[in-house]
Chain A
Amino acid sequence: MAGSSTSYYFVIIGTKDNPLYEAEFGSFKQGGDGIPKFREEQRHMNQFIAHSSLDCIEDQQWASKEMYLKTVDKFNNTWVSCFLTGGNIKFLLVHDTRSDEPIRQFFADVYDLYCKTLMNPFYEVNMAIRSQTFDQKIKAAAKKYL
């Protein structure tokens, strides 16, 4: 199973549809090693898939009261899950197996981390997130839930 374990592409999108942060990780579940197994041509496809899902999100965002919109788009065997913050910042996760609950928990942690980043006086809305601590914590959250 380890060879075919799930891989994830995670991106935070700002209010102007600009990317703020991106990361790739593999699953730690079922003996996964946490290393993403995307094929090289898949990696930039992920960015396209995430980007093209933004329209779907706009269609769906007013239909739900929840911030977690679950899967919003599907392309071949890839799903896109979305979490929309009150400030219209989007967390997108591109993944190749469906599992709503762990992703919800992951997004909840990310939301927490994002809020803390936003509280940093030197950080401004829509600024790319370069903090290494943030990066490490996101990866720790991924390891915990995905």
Chain B
Amino acid sequence: MSSTSRARLGEEVWKLRTDKINAELVTLTYGSVVAQLCKDLDGDYAEVNKQLDKMGYNIGLRLIEDFLAKSNMQQKCANFRDTADVISKVGFKMFLNITPTIVNWSSDNKQFSLLFDENPLADFVELPDDGKAQSDLWYSNMLCGVIRGALEMVQMSVDAHFVSDVLRGNDTTEMRINLIRYIEDEMPQDDE
């Protein structure tokens, strides 16, 4: 499947097979989750990032099935570059109606970055000016967890994390995704 036909597929699924929801509702819902976490965890932003990632992971585990059902992808991705393309053009398109740009491939084709030109989760958001949030909080960290969870269900163990965010005053919002390994069929641990 070529890159353009993937873009078309993403467009099609978004138009025909996706229930739309008001953008502000999403933004405010996500925002209140993050704000509440910050309050509950007393401004321990490292922990907030971790919790967001965990929530995302749990979403990813389920979302992948929905993704496969709706996109009806017959072919397996031949390599990690294909996977990246599908994540951006079909996955993000389908769920958030955005297509992050894929850049900065490492020479071994195991690492790439997603550049978010727009981020529906972060509309209206200004990080608290407590001197810590700007440097410690990754506001949209749930997305990392979603990708990690989703890819794990299709036999890819990855590490995903943000390296920059416009909310922090950076020029771009960039997420780094690193393929750790393909998970081979293996016996579950502690399975006698």
Contact = CB atoms under 8 A, between A and B. Distances in A.
Interface stretch (B11-19, B24-32, B52-60, B91-99): B24-32
Contacts of A30: none
B27 A131 contact: no
B27 A119 contact: yes
Contacts of A133: 126
A65 interface: no
Interface residues of B, number: 16
A122 B27 contact: no
Contacts of B129: 130
Interface in A104-146: 116, 119-123, 130-131, 133
B179 interface: no
Contacts of B34: 121
A123 B126 CA distance: 9
B34 to A, nearest CB: 6
Contact of B128 (A116, A119, A122): A122
Task: Report whether over half of chain A's contact residues are helix, strand or loop; otherwise say mixed.
Answer: loop
Contacts of B125: 120-122
A130 B124 CA distance: 15
B123 interface: yes
Interface string B117-129: 0000001111111
Max chain A C-beta neighbours (<10 A), residue from B35, B124, B125, B127? B124
B24 A121 contact: no
A72 to B, nearest CB: 30
A138 to B, nearest CB: 15
Interface in A91-109: none
Nearest to A115: B124
Contact of B35 (A116, A122, A130, A131): A122
A122 B31 CA distance: 8
Contacts of B126: 120, 122-123, 131, 133
* A-B CB proximity, top 6 nearest: A121-B31, A119-B124, A121-B35, A122-B128, A120-B124, A120-B126
25 contacts: A116-B124, A119-B24, A119-B27, A119-B31, A119-B123, A119-B124, A120-B31, A120-B125, A121-B30, A121-B31, A121-B32, A121-B34, A121-B35, A121-B124, A121-B125, A122-B31, A122-B35, A122-B38, A122-B125, A122-B126, A122-B127, A122-B128, A123-B126, A130-B129, A131-B126
Given A120-B124, A121-B31, A121-B124, 6 more contacts: A116-B124, A119-B27, A121-B28, A122-B31, A122-B127, A133-B126
